[in-house]
Amino acid sequence: MLVARPIFPEVIARLREHLDVITHDSEQALSATELQARLQGCDGVFVAASEPINAELLAACPQLKAVCSMAVGYNNIDVPACTARGVLVSNAPDVLTETTADFGFALMMATARRIAESERFLRRGEWTHWSFDLMAGADVHAATLGVLGMGRIGQAIARRGALGFGMPVIYHNRSRLPEADEQAVKARWVDKATLLREADHLVIVVPYSPASHHMIGEAELALMKPGATLTNIARGGVVDDAALARALAERRIAAAGLDVFEGEPKVLPALLDLPNVVLTPHIASASIPTRMAMCNLAADNLIAALTGGKPPTALNPEVLART
């Protein structure tokens, strides 16, 4: 099997106790063609959020039996195509929920309170005097938190806002949470337009799919309050980055915090030029213990899938029943 990314050596060593392992040792991600070439003869692959696993690759790698990702989002993997070929797919849910929610909350707070902008200002030597409105931003406590996407991470963010910061929480999700869960996170379901109109701080945590492509574009941004902030820790493409850059430049919303981008690791130059946006390099799950847990969970799935066991977080466990 191939580990398509450099990962913790301890996890490689664990995989080697059970499987024949080849590694890709450069931080430069494999291109689709390189991935296909490296996978010849491999029965499994360890991937992260960006390796494209599609029907074309599967057709070219007939020995592949398992695709295990250390990410929770799996929009890079064509799961139905894998299922059709009997290839097991797994992701890494749950182990990153709280860490990712911590980061979403931190990015929202940094955005509201202009922390990154203040730091750049100070480092540039521009801090010459106190002023009544120096870097004055929006309040977080008691402001209305809007959560778009109420999966596990969305619920963990809602809990932080409601229980820790006294925020009224509204959310939108295709399906409503059961009432007991709504009560636990103290969140109220609203339609998408109401969410956009009422949120002081909007945090986006929906998985990417063709249905969520540009879910936040020009028309949606136009509904938001001029003082509102938008934080995206979901996936690039859920937000129309060019429309967001225009709204920020024209101060139609106050600020944005972005951990994910369309076409990342490239970032739209218009965003890089704006003062009122906090930019981070897709690191919401990046605490050391959580990245270790994500790698170990992907390894558990691979070892089980390739040695006749039961992968703990399979997305298409039905393929195992067939063999």
Query: Which positions are catalytic?
Result: 235, 264, 282
> In this complex, which beta carbon is closest to ligand GLV, that of residue 66 or of residue 261?
261
Nearer to ligand GLV, 30 or 247 (CB): 30
* CA 70/CA 94 separation, integer angstroms: 11
Which CB sits closer to ligand GLV, 109 or 153? 153
**CA 41 – CA 286 distance, rounded (Å):** 32
Stretch of residues binding ligand GLV (CB under 6 A), selected from 27-35, 121-129, 147-155, 306-314: 147-155
Rounded Cα gap, residues 301 and 209, in angstroms:
24
Query: Closest CB to ligand GLV among 66 and 95?
Result: 95
Tell whether residue 101 is a contact of ligand GLV (CB under 6 A). no
Taking CB under 6 A as the criterion, the residue among 42, 68, 88, 93 binding ligand GLV is 93
| Number of neighbouring beta carbons within 10 Å of residue 279 | 15
Per CB under 6 A, which region of 68-76, 105-113, 165-173, 303-311 contacts ligand GLV? Answer: 68-76
Q: And the tokens for 282? A: 């897709």
Q: Tell me the number of residues near ligand GLV by CB under 6 A.
A: 13
Question: Least distance from C-beta 153 to ligand GLV, angstroms?
Answer: 4
Other Cβ atoms less than 10 A from the Cβ of 35: the count is 21
Interaction of residue 151 with ligand GLV, rule CB under 6 A: yes
Contact 133, 274 (CB under 8 A): no
Burial of 3 (0-12, 13-18, 19+ CB in 10 A): buried
Choose between 178 and 308: whose C-beta lies nearer to ligand GLV: 178
72 interacts with ligand GLV by CB under 6 A: yes
Cα dihedral 12/76/271/154 (nearest 10): -90
* Backbone phi, psi, residue 257, to 5°: -120, 120
Tell the smallest beta-carbon distance from residue 147 to ligand GLV (Å): 10
If one counts every other C-beta atom within 10 angstroms of the C-beta of residue 319, the result is 20
**Contact set with ligand GLV (CB under 6 A):** 49, 71-73, 93, 96-97, 151-154, 205, 285
